[in-house]
Amino acid sequence: MGTSQFFGLMIGYSGLTAYQAAENTVANNVANVETEGYTKQYTNRKASDALRTYTSYGMQGTGVTVKGIEQYRNLFLDSKYRANEADVGRYETQESHMIRIEKYFEDSSTVNGFSTIYNKFNAALEELDKNPGQTSTRTAFLGAAQTVAEYFRNISANLKAEQESINGEVKTTVERINTIAEEVAALNKQINLIELSGPKANELRDKRALLVDELSKIVDVEVSEVPILNEADNNKPTGANRFTVKISNGNTLVSNYDYNTLELIGRSEESKYHQTDADGLYDIRWKETLSPFNVLADNLSGSLKALMELRDGNNNEIIHGKAAKADYDETEKKIKFTAEGITDENLEEMISKLNIAEKGTVIINGSQYNYDSWSVTRNGSSYEFTLNKISFMSNTGEKTEGLQYKLKDTDNTIELGTAVDYQGIPYYQSQMNQWVRQFAYRFNKIEKTGQDLNGKDMTTSFFQWKDKSQSGLQEFKEDYGNPESFDTAQERTDGGPYNYYFLTAENLFVNENIIKDPRLMSTTSKDGDVDTDASDIVDKLLKIKDNKSVMEFRGCTSAEFLTCILSDISLNSMSAKTFKTNSGNIRSAIQSQKDSVSSVDDDEEALDLVKFQNAYNLNAKVIQTMTEIYDRLILQTGV
């Protein structure tokens, strides 16, 4: 016997309300079948607490209770998906930019690239060899030479523009990280306000998960959610949760309602990492603590890391070494050290490979400083660098001369710039600079052993360079002795003989005076007599193309420059494409697993709708039957 005359009606009513909620949930699932980030929901139905009847059967059921509307979500699959998304973001970004970089070096039937232009240059040189005294032949060759110089200037400009574009993407990406952090913190508060009163904020949870998924493609993400306990009530759950998001090796981005932000600091002209870097490249740091934000660690991934690799990647090719305490001059604010890992046998060759900034950044024992100029001295088989006017830039932007931290007696680490283990834009700029310097040096050296058609010794350089700080083209004053030292400050001031360091792909030009008067180019040796038909100088110039003893670039001839560069680019491009495909396949597999748990399936929802409709109808039938029983009991028995 029940506790109420209408006990059966109440049981039927509980079924009606439970399955009406279930049908409404199905309707919501179907309505969101194409909604991005939506997670399938279900009614969490439990049998209501049974009542003790003090009869032989003891307990009697009281119907059904809906505990809440829950989500089908697997947190383990979420974490796997997000870990893989970082790789997807990284390799998608690498591939898209490497394709563009590859386009810059394209050489095909429709695009005149290096091989085509350099072959035309040497073909014009061969024609000059046949008719060295004709002005038309000389003019044609000078046009080909200008095209070679223009080619390198254009490629360098394109790469710098690409670097600036990537820098802009870094800015946009960091701003998006900050926006996501703010939105997640706001959602945490909204979710807890709702769930403190009982119901689950499922739609808000979906929105938050979608934001975290987006973030995981940018940087590595760790997510945790733990209940907030009430210490005053035996540590019982309050219904609210603490949601935390950490990025890039455990840096807290969001801690429930609080969030940290990143800020961008543009590098000044005095704090460049590489000689050909664009101005104002951004470094990233935490706004609250002013500490650096590093995304380049080996164990990290994400699109932001890819952008930094592409923008700053130098293939780990930096000048580094160790210094002792005694190597620092407190009065002059300069420090010297012996470079490690350099095996070149002559200073000129070594300088041709340098991509360090004239004024730039040096890392001393992990702290960042600026230097005003540098010099290098050859000492046997080693090279000793001196960095002048060391200054320290505080987190607040205050500049102080000298070292701010005491040096150890020995083994203080010195790094010019930051080693980035990727062949990014600085690497390709450096490769072009290296080729241009070697080519211009050898061409000028041969030219200066001859005389022009006026019978005068060739004293000016055929290839020259343009300095932003000075008007006109700058001369190379070669001295073919054995150079033992090089000083950027002295070379710039005095126009010293070994200033090919200042020549880069972006400032290579042909001597303007020779362009105006082709007779000023030398084609014959200094023998005292003018022979317009002599071309022994041209014969030597022709050897630059294919003779490694005259010019060698990375074990190849000068003509094989493009092969070397494209092999690097193709390797990086194919690597990015392969890893993008692999990570994309893993994403698809994980997404399929997630969909099997969380996505809305039309057929499943249709079956559930029929099932819940039948259950609803049966409960309605229960109520109808119980109503008839009560009618007979009350109205027809006179009770």
pLDDT per residue over 157-190, tens digit each? 999 999 999 999 999 999 999 999 999 999 999 9
Q: How many CB atoms lie within 10 A of CB 305?
A: 24
300, 596, 560: which is closest to 422 by C-alpha? 300
pLDDT per residue over 324-341, tens digit each? 999 999 999 999 999 998
DSSP summary character for residue 5: T
Q: In the prediction, which pLDDT does 635 show?
A: 78
Query: Domain map of the chain by residue range?
Result: 1-72+600-639
Beta bridge partners of 320: 415
Residue 148 reports pLDDT greater than 80: yes
Residue 519 reports pLDDT greater than 70: yes
Question: Mean pLDDT throughout 63-88?
Answer: 93
394, 521, 344: which is closest to 449 by C-alpha? 521
434-444 b/e with 16+ CB inside 10 Å = b? bbbbbbbbbbb
Give the confidence band of 532 by pLDDT, cuts at 50, 70, 90. Answer: low
Query: What 3-state DSSP class applies to 576?
Result: helix
Alpha carbon separation from 179 to 28, 99, 173, 211, 277 (Å, rounded):
29, 30, 10, 10, 29
DSSP summary character for residue 356: B
Give the confidence band of 529 by pLDDT, cuts at 50, 70, 90. Answer: low
Supply 265's token pair: 């600091």
Residue 2 reports pLDDT greater than 50: no
Q: How far apart are CA 92 and CA 99, in angstroms?
A: 11
Cα-based angle 392, 393, 395 (whole degrees, multiple of 5): 135
Q: How many CB atoms lie within 10 A of CB 569?
A: 19
The answer to whether the CB of 502 falls within 8 A of the CB of 436 is: no
Q: How far apart are CA 106 and CA 86, in angstroms?
A: 30
Q: In the prediction, which pLDDT does 638 show?
A: 59
The amino acid present at 329, given as its one-letter code, is D
pLDDT per residue over 174-231, tens digit each? 999 999 999 999 999 999 999 998 889 999 999 999 999 999 999 999 999 999 998 8
pLDDT per residue over 369-427, tens digit each? 999 999 999 888 899 999 999 999 887 778 899 999 999 999 999 999 899 999 999 99
Q: In the prediction, which pLDDT does 347 show?
A: 84
Residue 127 reports pLDDT greater than 50: yes
Q: In the prediction, which pLDDT does 1 show?
A: 43
pLDDT per residue over 228-271, tens digit each? 998 888 888 888 999 999 999 999 999 999 999 999 999 988 89
Q: In the prediction, which pLDDT does 6 show?
A: 76
Q: In the prediction, which pLDDT does 91 show?
A: 96
Give the confidence band of 478 by pLDDT, cuts at 50, 70, 90. Answer: low
Q: How far apart are CA 555 and CA 362, in angstroms?
A: 31
pLDDT per residue over 427-465, tens digit each? 999 999 999 999 999 999 999 999 988 889 888 999 999
Q: In the prediction, which pLDDT does 633 show?
A: 77
Q: How far apart are CA 164 and CA 496, in angstroms?
A: 32
What one-character-per-residue DSSP string does 59-94 give?
EE---EEEEEEEE---HHHHHHHHHHHHHHHHHHHH
Residue 3 reports pLDDT greater than 60: no
Give the confidence band of 27 by pLDDT, cuts at 50, 70, 90. Answer: very high
Burial of 588 (C-beta count, 10 Å sphere; 0-12/13-18/19+): exposed
Q: In the prediction, which pLDDT does 397 show?
A: 74
Q: In the prediction, which pLDDT does 406 show?
A: 92
The answer to whether the CB of 399 falls within 8 A of the CB of 270 is: no
Q: In the prediction, which pLDDT does 55 show?
A: 76
Q: How far apart are CA 39 and CA 33, in angstroms?
A: 9
Q: How far apart are CA 301 and CA 309, in angstroms?
A: 11
What one-character-per-residue DSSP string does 77-142 give?
HHHHHHHHHHHHHHHHHHHHHHHHHHHHT--SSSS--HHHHHHHHHHHHHHHHH-TT-HHHHHHHH
Q: How far apart are CA 237 and CA 226, in angstroms?
A: 10
Question: Mean pLDDT throughout 537-545?
Answer: 93
Alpha carbon separation from 568 to 294, 425, 571 (Å, rounded):
26, 12, 5
